[in-house]
Amino acid sequence: MQTTSFLQYIEFEKRYSRHTLDAYERDLFQFSTYIRITFNITSAVQVEHEHIRSWIVSMMNEGLSPRSINRKLSSLKTYFKFLQKKEVVRKNPMAKVIAPKTKKRLPVALDQRTTKALFEEVVFGDSFSERRNQLILEILYQTGMRRSELIFLETANINFEKKYLKVLGKGNKERLIPFSDKLQGLMKEYLLVRKNTFGENDIPYLLLTDKGNQLYPKFVYSVVHKYLSIYTKLEQKSPHVLRHSFATHLTENGAELNAVKELLGHANLSATQIYTHQTMEQLRKVYQQAHPKAGELDEPDASKT
């Protein structure tokens, strides 16, 4: 299957992150390889929904989780929508494909006490790398932005006077995120140290590696994992944990859900409502632990016996 024009489309027009581009390219390669070997199909025009269903079954037999399969199907769905728009195919074979059901997972977040310890107890040095690492953690938690948004955050998009960041999110959508006086000070101090370290660097992005280059996904993950490992035993210690913590703590402290949706850059409210469930689970635990009646079994109604 020819995918070059599609990958160029999502890179330059949709402005998808490098991480997403790699995932789409990998998924399409796996699918094209499967249908070529299994059905001798080499063109997207020949693909029918039965071929995609066969691929789903093969992935399930290989032990892939429904969540992983659905992510791959999402790549196919976007690809065939693109081909339909370009009139390469007349109908979208994904239209008749039913994705495997997945269990809803609550987002993994730090509790507020752990988060406070993380940001108050860690002592960062004055070197460039230490200030940068501190800023990575602070920005992710204080703004809730995605890892890819952090990597592509440009210095020119920071309004120090009005204290907000302009972030380019999924689907090339811009949003404004306010920041605190503390974060303002940390960013200004970092920029001074960066200038002293690298001079007038022409790279537009705020955060740089130790060699003065743009950050990359694994670099950000390693920094976050390093510091979260000190304070939490959660299995997940990724940058997304800080994004989830940002949203969870806002809802726990009474933030209006639509406001949280805008700050996170969600396309619809349903994606944000999961944080309401997260808060309810926390309330349920507190109730069960603290209320004297919470542990009692229901007693039979004598009038009905």
Q: Is 275 among the residues known to form the active site?
A: yes
Torsion angles phi and psi, residue 52, rounded to 5:
-70, -40
Selected catalytic residue, list 49, 163, 170, 225: 170
Q: Name the active-site residue from 132, 147, 243, 261.
A: 243
- Nearest partner of 259 among 175, 188, 196, judged by Cα: 175
* 266 belongs to the catalytic site: yes
* CA distance to 297, 298, 299, 300, per residue, from 304 (Å): 17, 14, 12, 8
3-state secondary structure of 266: coil
Residues 183 and 175 sit within 8 Å (Cβ to Cβ):
no
35 close to 41: Cβ distance less than 8 angstroms: yes
Nearest to residue 105, comparing CAs of 261, 236, 17, 230?
A: 236
Cα(58)–Cα(40) distance, integer angstroms: 16
The residue count for the chain = 305
Q: Would the CA dihedral through 139, 140, 143, 145 be positive or negative?
A: positive
240 is catalytic: yes
**Active-site annotation holder among 72, 77, 131, 146:** 146
3-state SS class at 122: coil
Of the residues 16, 141, 190, 275, only one is catalytic, namely 275
Residue 15 DSSP SS3: coil
Give the C-alpha separation, 138 to 187, whole Å: 10
Known active-site residue 285:
no
- Residue 49 a catalytic site member: no
* CA-wise closest residue to 243 among 271, 269, 219, 215: 271
Of 176, 245, 167, 248, give the one whose Cα is nearest residue 257: 248
Active site amino acids:
146, 170, 240, 243, 266, 275
